[in-house]
Amino acid sequence: MDHAATLLIRHALPPQMTDIVVFGDPLYCSSASVQGCTCASMTRTEDIRMVAKRRWWQVPRLRTNEEDRYERRTGWQELFFDLVFVVIVSELAHYLAGHTTLAGIGSYIVLFVPVWWVWIGGTIYNDRFETYDISYRFFVFLQMLPVAAMAIFVHDGLATNSRGFALAYAVVRILLISMWLRGGYHDARYRPVTTRYALGFSCSVLLFIASVFVPAPWRYGLWGLGAMFDLLTPITTLQLQARLPALNSSNLPERFATFVLIVLGEAVVGVVQGIAGLSTLTPSLALTGTLGMALVFGLCWIYFDFVARRRPRHNVWAQVVWTYLHLPLVMTTAALGAAVVNVLSAGNDLPALASRYLFNDAVGVALIAIGLLELTLRAEADEPTWAPVSVGLKLGAGLVAIIIGLMALPVRSIVSLLLLILLVAIQMVYGAYVWYRPTQHRDVILEA
pLDDT in tens, 129-171: 877 778 888 888 999 999 999 999 998 889 889 999 999 999 9
Average pLDDT over the chain reads 80
Cα 419 from chain centre: 28
Q: What does the pLDDT read at residue 69?
A: 54
The predicted structure's pLDDT at residue 65: 57
Residue 37, pLDDT score: 43
**pLDDT band at 427, cuts 50/70/90?**
very high
Separation between Cα atoms, residue 73 and residue 250, nearest integer Å:
7
Give the C-alpha separation, 32 to 18, whole Å: 8
**Ranges 52-66, 121-135, 172-186: which has the least confidence:** 52-66
Alpha-carbon distance of 377 to 371, in angstroms, equals: 11
User: In the predicted model, is pLDDT for residue 421 greater than 50?
Assistant: yes
CA–CA gap between residue 18 and residue 1 (Å, rounded): 17
d(CA 134, CA 271): 40
Angle 152-155-161 (CA atoms, 0-180°, nearest 5)?
80
Instruction: Label residue 112 exposed, middle or buried (CB < 10 Å: 0-12, 13-18, 19+).
Output: buried
Is the pLDDT at 179 greater than 60? The verdict is yes
Closest C-alpha to 226, from 241, 210, 247:
210
pLDDT tens, position by position, 15-74: 444 443 333 333 334 433 444 444 434 344 444 443 444 577 777 777 765 554 556 677
Q: ∠ CA(181), CA(34), CA(39), 5° rounding? A: 145
Half-sphere exposure of 118 (CA within 13 A, CB side): 32
Q: Average the pLDDT over 399-425 and give the result.
A: 83
Evaluate whether 341 touches 97 at the Cβ level (below 8 Å). Answer: yes
pLDDT in tens, 208-245: 999 999 998 899 999 999 999 999 999 999 988 888 77
Percent of the chain past pLDDT 70, that is, above it, reads 79
Q: What is the 3-state secondary structure (H, E, C) of the chain?
A: CCHHHHHHHHHHCCCCCCEEEECCEEEECCCCCCCCCCCCCCCCHHHHHHHEECCCCCCCCCCCCCCCCCCCCCCHHHHHHHHHHHHHHHHHHHHHHHCCCHHHHHHHHHHHHHHHHHHHHHHHHHHHHCCCCHHHHHHHHHHHHHHHHHHHHCCCCCCCCHHHHHHHHHHHHHHHHHHHHHHHHHCHHHHHHHHHHHHHHHHHHHHHHHHCCCCCCHHHHHHHHHHHHHHHCHHHHHHHHHCCCCCCCCHHHHHHHHHHHHHHHHHHHHHHHHHHCCCCCCHHHHHHHHHHHHHHHHHHHHHHHHHHCCCECCCHHHHHHHHHHHHHHHHHHHHHHHHHHHHHHCCCCCCCHHHHHHHHHHHHHHHHHHHHHHHCECCCCCCCCCHHHHHHHHHHHHHHHHHHHHHCCCCCHHHHHHHHHHHHHHHHHHHHHHHHCCCHHHHHHHHC
